[in-house]
Amino acid sequence: MAGPVTDPRAAAAGTPTRRGTEAALLAFAVLITVAAQAIVDLTVTGALRPEMATFSVWITALWVVAHLVVRRFASYADPLLLPAVALLVGLGLTVIHRLDLAAEVSGDTASREDAPVQLVWATLGVALFVAVLVVVRDHRTLSRFAYTLALLGIVLLALPAVLPASISEVNGAKIWIRVAGFSIQPGEFAKICLVVFFAAYLVDKRDVLALASKKVAGLELPRGRDLGPVLLAWILSILVLVFERDLGSSLLLFGIFVVMLYVATERASWLFIGLALFAGGAMIAYQIFGHVQARVNTWLDPSEYYDGAGYQLMQSLFGLGTGGLFGAGLGGGRPDQVPVAKSDFIAAAVGEELGLFGLVAVIVVYLILVERGLRTSLVVRDSFGKLLAAGLAFAIAWQVFVVLGGVTGLLPLTGLTTPFLAYGGSSLVANFVLVALLVRISDAARRPAAQHAAPIRLGDAPTEVVVP
Amino acid sequence: MNAPLRRVAISVLVLFTLLIINVNVIQVIRSDSLRGDSRNTRVLAETYDRERGSIIVDGTEVALSVPTDGRLTYLRTYPQGPLYAPVTGYHSLVYGNTYLEDVMDDVLSGEDDRLFVRRIADLFTGRDPAGGDVVLTLDPAVQAAAMAGLEGLTGAVVALDPQTGAILGLASTPTYDPGLVSGHDPAGIRANMDGITGQDPDPRLNRAISENYQVGSLFKVIVSAAALADGYTPETVVPAVDLLQLPQSTATLPNFNGSSCDPDQEQPLIDALTISCNTAFGQLGIDLGEDAVRDMAEAFGLDDEGMEIPLDVVPSGVGTIESEAALAQTSIGQRDVRMTVLQAALVAATVANDGVQMAPYLIDELRAPDLSVLEETEPEVLREPISAEVAEGLTEMMVSVVERGSGRAARLPGIEVAGKTGTAQVRPGVPDHNWFMGFAPAEEPEIAVAVLVVNGGSTGGDLSAPIARDVMAAYFEGRG
């Protein structure tokens, strides 16, 4: 977290760019990725696969390109963001490859090799990362497209709901668009569009939303007429839950909105109102929807539902428990016994093979990513950037918490993907865009004021002193 | 906006701490219970990744793991199926391990401490870890003859080398093929196991060591030993009435089929044993007293807490003797006297080995995967219940049993056999158990054998003595 930053604009010229740190950390991430891939191959098949050389060159090239683009277009960016992502993506690729091999070993011919596909997605992700940095030179320009992005976000979110189930439904969740062999989860992109919109909208309206009407039990409640936006976000979340049966996205969007509302208004009452709305929504959802009930019951006692809905979670827990402190070693466990280990339950595979230490390390890398994002938010000068960075960073945090909590039995399962780690193109590519935005804002945050003068806001304009 | 931002940052820290605590609970505190959960096939499956050691009889693997192309790398196979099942037990994905597969699991799986250094070395050299081999003392000819002799019957045979205690044969019927439950297909294993457990009597039970049975007249050898130790000789004349009136009781003790032992109502001890005279031994037991009889039985290993060969052997015992009437019945091996077949073989072996009882053992040596010897079993003395003189007297009497008495069916051409038959009443309406124990050659014994046919319904001399003869013949044939 940030130290006491009194006035960010006081940052002196000559602030180090820290690009060397980033390069060193990226090299470390690449080293770990390549070593982990080699260990998997050697443990499972006893030999390095021929594609190993191509893979090493490819993954190195990806991060070299990303680094050079950051160097050129965001030279003051936070040096930890990209390496954290590189480490997570590399580990994800390794675990997916490891699960590919497991399927091969068990003679499961139905499953295809997913690691090369994921590498293509990662490449596309880096391409979009580069595109965002090149095109969006100043994050504040995004606020101009806030309402366009809101519309786009809602369309993306609603698209699977209105499309026929044959195109949009997988395993009961109607959150997909499947076209020509590709599966896209538009919700992942909608998340970013909506965060941008929330940031722009809340910066605009925060003064109004911060107005208090009366004080109840030490809590300054907002005026009744200002409840509109939060109710709208709540309804949107409920609609997602009803029409797409997607508990995860519903929870994610509402959580992000409430926290951004709180940050924008500095009114804790919004958190309580959000919590109350969530509790109400959850109760209603539990009463009405069978699949929500099933999720909750399975969460409370997975062992009881072992032969059905609880099987996946129990296998995850068995894997984690068997992994213990140090894990079975990459390639040494049976992570393939957990159904859909590559996407939803990839953390279980990490915990089984890398043990408690490995899994906690991954959680800490996420924590670094999130806290660097929040630090960017603290330091950046403009309100929109602040709120946007906070929203994006919290989006990662909230998603990681909900997913890992689900996989480890702390929370009911929601079906979100683990950012950067899990198999899934939409999630990976979308999160690259998200991180590109964070990198862009962090560049603005750390860039010395002299080089990148902050826009003069009306409130900050020097008051003319009229000498009588 | 910085104040709420800091609070959000702290909240995220708290949420992630919750995640980390929860993961700690699962991977540390609940680790053992999750790992050991019967529905968690990971740990068991892991054992199939490693080449489990073999169980070897005379240079031939009777249980071995062979590589497969399946998900579980190694398949446990038992090439001779039912022949060694009573000894090997099974190694099952679904039902776990039994008998040697269970008792020697540490060595076979490679978890044994003596293989520790090697396991560490495997870790660094990348060599596939493997388990150690267990080499048995069994003689394949003896084992085959024993199982063949018992075919179609329920029973057990134990053959020992009396001079060392090495177990040459350990047979039990009915038997089963352990390969049926050691595959990789849980559904198939369950179906096969249902087929095995559906049988009565249970084929999985090793009747030589896991059960004890009423012994009948075998016990007369122990009473004879007590008598000889008390100063009797085989020629000492003992009372042998037609019908023994039991003291303080209205009950009587008859001879087998109500026959008469001797027209003179008395006979030398050797003759009493030769024809297995009940009234003579009933009276002899009363004359010697409970202490003498019980002490001798305990000296042979009865009333002890069982032993490990290393398979667990259930205890044998004399049981309670409340009265002289009970003592008379005990002295002919009725009442509560029960022995395992292994214990019976041990009694015969002790007589054969000049009164020195060698500890029975099934494992010749343990080998590391590189064939170096981890441990070799050294023969050791377990007990010395009788003197060499008493043993000599007993041998003379037991030779007489086979030469001209109830055990004639055990005679071997050119080899002098000593033995004793037993026909134990179980309960009214249930067929008798049929026993034989003996050894050969009588002068310099090389093999001691005990045979039990459970509820054979015949006599030990008619049903069990021929099996013992065949087992001994197979042994001597093998030795040339």
Question: Is position B408 within any domain?
Answer: yes
- Note whether B30 contacts A317, CB cutoff 8 Å: yes
- Note whether A378 contacts B4, CB cutoff 8 Å: no
Q: How high is the pLDDT of residue A465? A: 47
Contact B53, B130 (CB under 8 A): yes
- Note whether A397 contacts B5, CB cutoff 8 Å: no
Q: Domain spans of chain A? A: 8-141+208-450
Separation between Cα atoms, residue B309 and residue B315, nearest integer Å: 13
Report the percent of chain B where pLDDT is more than 70.
96
The residue segments making up the domain with residue B350 are 213-363+381-479
A213 secondary structure, DSSP code? E
Q: How high is the pLDDT of residue A3? A: 45
Contact B318, B294 (CB under 8 A): yes
Question: Is position B31 within any domain?
Answer: no
pLDDT digits (tens, 9 = 90+) for B64-76: 988 887 667 788 8
Beta strands of B362-416 (E only): which ranges?
363-367, 373-376, 381-383
Question: Is position B312 within any domain?
Answer: yes
Give B22's contacts in chain A (Cβ within 8 Å): 405, 408-410
User: Which residues face B415 on adjacent strands?
Assistant: B412
Give B30's contacts in chain A (Cβ within 8 Å): 317, 321
Question: Is position B348 within any domain?
Answer: yes
How many domains does chain B fold into? Answer: 1
Contact B440, B446 (CB under 8 A): yes
pLDDT tens by residue, chain A, 468 residues: 444 444 444 444 568 889 999 999 999 999 999 999 999 999 888 888 888 999 999 999 999 999 999 999 999 999 999 999 999 999 999 999 999 988 877 666 666 788 999 999 999 999 999 999 999 999 999 999 988 998 898 888 888 878 777 777 776 677 777 776 677 888 889 899 999 999 998 888 888 877 766 777 666 777 767 777 777 877 887 787 777 777 788 888 889 989 998 998 888 888 888 889 889 888 888 888 887 888 888 888 888 887 778 888 998 999 999 888 888 888 888 888 888 888 889 999 999 999 999 999 999 999 999 999 999 999 998 999 999 999 999 999 999 999 999 999 999 888 788 999 999 889 999 999 999 999 999 999 988 875 554 554 554 445 554 544
Q: Which residue of B has its CA nearest to A322?
A: B35
Active site (catalytic) residues of B:
217
Q: Which residue of B has its CA nearest to A258?
A: B8
- Note whether A266 contacts B1, CB cutoff 8 Å: yes
pLDDT digits (tens, 9 = 90+) for B231-285: 999 999 999 988 888 888 878 888 877 788 888 899 999 999 999 999 999 999 9
CATH number, domain at B398?
A: 3.40.710.10
**Mean pLDDT over the full length of chain B:** 90
Q: How high is the pLDDT of residue B125? A: 65
Residue B293 reports pLDDT greater than 60: yes
Interface test with A, best of B23, B24, B25, B30 (most A CBs within 10 A): B23
- Note whether A409 contacts B22, CB cutoff 8 Å: yes
Separation between Cα atoms, residue B129 and residue B419, nearest integer Å: 49
Give B20's contacts in chain A (Cβ within 8 Å): 360, 363
CA distance A101 to chain B (A): 12
Q: How high is the pLDDT of residue B79? A: 93
Question: Is position B82 within any domain?
Answer: no
Contact A40, A101 (CB under 8 A): yes
- Note whether A367 contacts B22, CB cutoff 8 Å: no
CA distance A303 to chain B (A): 10
Q: Which residue of B has its CA nearest to A311?
A: B39
For residue B265, CA distances in Å to A106, B132, B400 come to: 79, 62, 20
DSSP track, A80-149:
THHHHHHHHHHHHHHHHHHHHHHHHHTT-TTS---HHHHHHHHHHHHHHHHHHHHH-SSGGGGGGGHHHH
Q: What is the mean pLDDT of residues B199-206?
A: 91
Kindly state the greatest CA–CA separation across chain A.
91
